[in-house]
Amino acid sequence: MPSVLPAVTTASMTDRPANPDSLWVATAEPAAPTPPLEGEAKADVAVVGGGFTGLSTALHLAEAGVSVVLVEAAEPGWGASGRNGGQAIPGLKLDPDEIEARFGPELGPRVVELVGGAADFVFGLIRRHGISCHAAQRGWISASFSPAALALAGRRVEQWQRRGVGARLLDRATAAALMGTDRYVGGWLDPRGGALQPLSYARGLARAAIRQGARIHGASPATVLRRDGAQWRVETPGGSVVADQVVLATNGYTDTLWPGLARSIIPVFSYQVATRPLSDNLRRTILPERHVVSDTRRLLLYFRLDHDGRLLMGGRGKLKDSSDPNLYGYVKSALAGLFPQLDRPDYAYFWGGKVAITTDQIPHLHELAPGLHAGLGYNGRGVAMASAMGRLLALRAQGKSATDIPYPISSMRPIPFHGLRLPVLQAIVGWRRMMDRLEAGAR
Ligand SMILES: Cc1cc2nc3c(=O)[nH]c(=O)nc-3n(C[C@H](O)[C@H](O)[C@H](O)COP(=O)(O)OP(=O)(O)OC[C@H]3O[C@@H](n4cnc5c(N)ncnc54)[C@H](O)[C@@H]3O)c2cc1C
């Protein structure tokens, strides 16, 4: 069995990496204590990574009475889960008919039901565990940037309606009234989507899991993962966990712990800005019904109001993380272009994080070796889907067979020429931006 990286135990490795400054850090519920792992722990299941995937796995295992230890390099919610747009969006990037065609008449409809119900699943979890995270299920709008995209929206609405979902197509005027911008040709509304404060949600999941008996350790990066007799051993700078099963839940922040896993996804950066709270006047016109929105540009934009009426705008930026102030230029100019009524937007927060992209556009559930599972690659739709994936991983770690799981279990495939991704992606981003500009000009 592969074992990677020697166990390095320096004091600096147990330092807890700080959260980035963000709107969510400034307004989150306090975190439960998650002391670093010290000494040897035993558990039925060890989970590596404390985002929505790992926390939901730990919560569902603990609820089922399974002993579980979760190790997180920083603290719960430090990765994408505490930095995202807080939009719980049902479904995948693929349409339900496409999903059924891809996975066949037996598995296909079960996958559609799972992914279509993923946002309901999140709001249900929040209610069941009394998680305080400004959750509001008022619907998600997919804003169409071009007539071709609006035609596609019509087909999507029809497919979801056929499955009993109250999705509806929005004409140009209705979309403009619901969003407060007339820059789109229309869109469609999915009532299952909604908003939440993502870091509070992550911390709430951690608190709920701890209440159910899970042991969660922050500042505990897993540095070695290896077989130990019939079990697995996960080593951290301060200790180790010996467990029958291991779940890797490290998504866009996956390192070299398991060979090839980091190369099975493409990590890209997404950036967000948030204004100060808008005036009551502006709030009456911008997203008056508090929908969350993402659009259909090739380089997609997403926006929403938070619970205090701040306007958030996010989008794809440079491919490398940096403190370059120009990093946010694209999203700032998008916000100003969509909402000219803001005159001079008053920005208060800037932050970003890593999104994990897969080449087949669907999240991956793997069994990497007997008793070693991984769930990752949400393509920017992980608020709902990573939470649902956690439940699937918990079922797998309890020994449920592949046929009991309403999701495909695939083999991990490292992406060829992964090392060349930066220049290739840079070229793709440039091309997509140019096409978006041309399309905007042609409307
Ligand atoms: C800016 C931004 C905006 C987004 N907006 C949305 C949105 O509005 N809606 C939506 O649905 N999705 C959105 N996403 C995507 C969504 O946030 C992610 O899909 C989701 O949070 C993934 O959760 P996760 O638990 O799998 O991964 P993460 O939350 O990234 O957690 C992985 C964790 O693993 C830890 N880790 C890594 N290696 C180790 C190790 N060796 N040992 C211990 N711990 C380790 C990391 O510290 C990290 O905390 C956005 C993402 C970003 C970055």
pLDDT in tens, 157-205: 999 999 999 999 999 999 999 999 999 999 999 999 999 999 999 999 9
Mean pLDDT of 8-15: 44
Find the 354 Cα to ligand 1 centroid distance in Å. Answer: 7
Only one residue has tokens 């007799």, namely 229
pLDDT in tens, 266-298: 998 999 999 999 999 999 999 999 999 999 987
Q: What is the pLDDT of residue 319?
A: 62
Strands 194-195 and 87-88, sheet pairing? antiparallel
pLDDT at position 324 is 66
Q: What percent of the chain has a predicted confidence (pLDDT) above 90?
A: 83
Residue 63: pLDDT band (50, 70, 90) is: very high
Whole-number average pLDDT of the chain: 92
Atom of ligand 1 nearest to the CA of 74: 47
**pLDDT (tens digit per residue) in 130-164:** 999 999 999 999 999 999 999 999 999 999 999 99
- Residue 183 CA to ligand 1 center (angstroms) comes to 30
pLDDT the model gives residue 415: 84
Residue 205 CA to ligand 1 center (angstroms) comes to 14
Give the helix ranges, DSSP H, for 52-117.
52-63, 96-116
- Ligand 1 atom 4 nearest Cα: 84
Tokens describing residue 209: 């899991």
Judged against a pLDDT cut of 80, whether residue 438 lies above it is answered with no
| Residue to probe by mutation, ligand 1, list 134, 201, 223, 251, most atoms within 8 Å of CB | 251
pTM over 0.75? The answer is: yes
Cα angle, residue 201 at apex, residues 209 and 287 outer, rounded to 5°: 160
With a 6 Å cutoff on the Cβ, whether 406 touches ligand 1 is no
- Mutate-to-test residue for ligand 1 from 250, 268, 294, 331, highest number of ligand atoms within 8 A of CB: 250
Run of H or E residues at 216: strand 215-217
Atom of ligand 1 nearest to the CA of 52: 25
Q: Where is mean pLDDT largest: 20-24, 107-111, 421-425?
A: 107-111
Cβ 70 under 6 angstroms from ligand 1: no
Could you tell me if the CB of 73 is within 6 A of ligand 1? Answer: yes
> How far, in Å, from the CA of 268 to the mean position of ligand 1?
12
Query: What's the CATH fold of domain 11-84+199-265+360-412?
Result: FAD/NAD(P)-binding domain (3.50.50)
The CB-based long-range contact list for 334-339 (8 Å cut-off, 24+ gap) reads: 334/301, 335/273, 335/275, 335/303, 335/311, 337/183, 338/181, 338/183, 338/301, 338/303, 338/313, 339/180, 339/181, 339/286, 339/311
Tell whether ligand 1 has an atom less than 6 A from the beta carbon of residue 351. no
Strands 231-236 and 301-305: unpaired
- List the chain domain ranges: 11-84+199-265+360-412, 135-191+267-354
Is there a shared CATH topology between the 11-84+199-265+360-412 domain and the 135-191+267-354 domain? no
Mean pLDDT computed over 355-375: 96
| Cα–Cα distance for residue pair 72/44, rounded to 1 Å | 17
Cα separation of 330 and 429, whole Å?
12
Residues forming a β-bridge with 356: 267
Pick the CATH number of 135-191+267-354 from 3.30.9.10, 3.30.1360.170, 3.40.50.300, 3.30.70.141: 3.30.9.10
Look at residue 299 in the predicted model and tell me its pLDDT.
82
Say what angle helices 198-211 and 382-397 make with each other, to 10 degrees: 20
Structural tokens at position 133: 């995270």
